[in-house]
Chains A and B, each alone.
Chain A
């Protein structure tokens, strides 16, 4: 009798442990009071801790936008630095709520990894960086080179495909951690560094003599980078994706961090709907948030263009052009579906 009671008690306790982390992600996030955001371990401009240990960057601002939309407070984020190898497992296992880590959206990640992508916050492509001293002008001259690359990335696969397609030889030098790849390139263990072009601009800055290295003109792949969530929670998926679209839409409306309070007085029905000032609007509450969600994002984080310029734009050391990431109305690909 005692035995059955005891084992039943143990069984019950054990079952209790097992059924954690299965509720709707939004409820979990609200209950714990912060968004757990998976970011890069350190990629200047995109996600890196600053001198005082605060995370800053383009992807970090995305995490902040999600927190602003949910809590009205962009600081309610905790960051989990993830390597390329562990990022998907961290998301699948529920350790993080959202992965905002310059991650390429591919069909196999969308399907077999059980993830969901939709919004692309940075359109990128893979490139090569070489020291000027090698006197290389094109990636097609790279046959026989030792190439540094991070393992477990689309980059590693594109590299193999590109060299094979062009009938070039190479020696892969592969590391799990970005810092180790950087160190290997800097010490001359390899001739070429390959990753997404945005990453190359960022990494070049961290070298001792950035001017001694050039980024080759070839872009060998499409790398749409965007946030990812687990499959099976459509509400959370919508919130994460619309936080991104809201920033793009704000830029299109010309709403900035500085003028968002004035814009609240606007009589334009589109803007009223977007900022939640329209009477009886249900757009925010239907998302599971307040109607101030978009206002909070713009007020606390800024619109897409502001976030871009602040972290990686012309006035930053990275000096990345908007290029493909300009608004659709200005010849780029950033396009938000209507907020209606």
Chain B
């Protein structure tokens, strides 16, 4: 998928996003909604209390310095804090909703042609279709449900789901091409399908509800963090609630407004307000990568993955092997071998054949016959060779070494031990050896090389630094596999792998406590996808594979697994960074509010920031507390940048920025706001 296409797909309707988010920020003030977030609920209750104190400042008894303006300002700031937190969540949700809307546009109730037992057609609503029903779709139809092709051949436009505009050929039998997705369009011919999902359960339905966040359940990490934040909030409630008797005892009474202010300043409102936005934005980032995750848990698990299982072909190497070298034997020159190889491949249209032609031409080889009069011999699984029959009856062949040996013998030729030496040499290089001959004469070996994807080695190095082990699966023989594994820089490999091997290796890793991620597309990958902690199915894959996986990659790009790991880590890092920042802020807030609230106790010396007045100190701390939420919304939505370095380096960097920064920033921020507040004469 090209960049432009991806951009196009992600241009979901964000118009009015902020206006809608602002509106929903007010709607979310509903206490039944607020109570789900214990930290912000405390702020909500605090706001009500201070609002009452605006109406009657002496509601809880007269305290010196308790005035209506101050109470009003505190109430206003608390209210803003609530709105900011709600706004953050609403913006994150809004993005998902916009994406869901664009998906939903493709989904509408259509009429489906249901085939009855006797193959007569009955027109029914698409919502009436059930799993197992047979339906017929013809050109121009929107496919009404997910299904499997059981008859017919047709082109299907899947751009609504994948953003890929080229139509896809669908036909029965083949693993990959036989599954169709509801909401896509058939643009030629007709198909008979067996419906594979009940209404509301289809792929599209799941995708919509996921990006929309309707099915959002808190992830294990998020739950643990919520517990800790709730407990910290409770601790601070106890701290603040027990202050009045203590303060009265030492003759330094404190007003309820100041108590509420202290409480709100101390409880972790920053992370409390942004926590859900971080989670939603994480899902959204996955969606922007054109991957559909079945749950936030799956995204989070990506960050924890410690073993990646990757198929060689398509992930580590480009799909095609290319000719790398000609190895002459029987005293032939390099040019002679090139010439014969060229002759054998002149009709070969496979990428491998073309690469042989390119290499031979590069070496200066030409053919000395007219291709128009020659005849191409196609590769077949039985002969395991291909070649050209020249007009003069000469047969040129290339193919698997054993097959060529047989061909040479049949033409009365001799087998030279040089051949086996060359064969072995190529295997040891990780290549596939092809022998070439003309009649009974062996000319040499073509070394077909697997092309490692550019940059893949660097990515594996990054993964290794992140502590992630990579295991390559391949059908190649051991020698070849080991060479490629070495060249690509994977940590381990399984040669001559079968689907059973996949499950076995996953189970082995899991038994050692590893979290395993893998990609797959075939039906025979389904058990392994289900067994893996993170299973990413290719969208081009079969329905069974998609069902078993917990993520589906719409671009069908297996390399993306590596990016998903990064997204998962980013999600966790963002959560940790903002929590650390939020808690570190408390130090400055204490030093702003405590000297102010106990000014009668003569502890003015603690006012190390030199804040103008007691009320100004409280207001400044609260304003800072409120403003930091919108200031951090972009970070929460974008996520903290992740660099593939070791855990200790990451910790050092993030502690410096969010820990130490979290200690220092509020000191500066509160002081600045204090100057503004006192200049404005608000307190």
B is a partner of A:
no
B residues apposed to A, CB below 8 Å? none
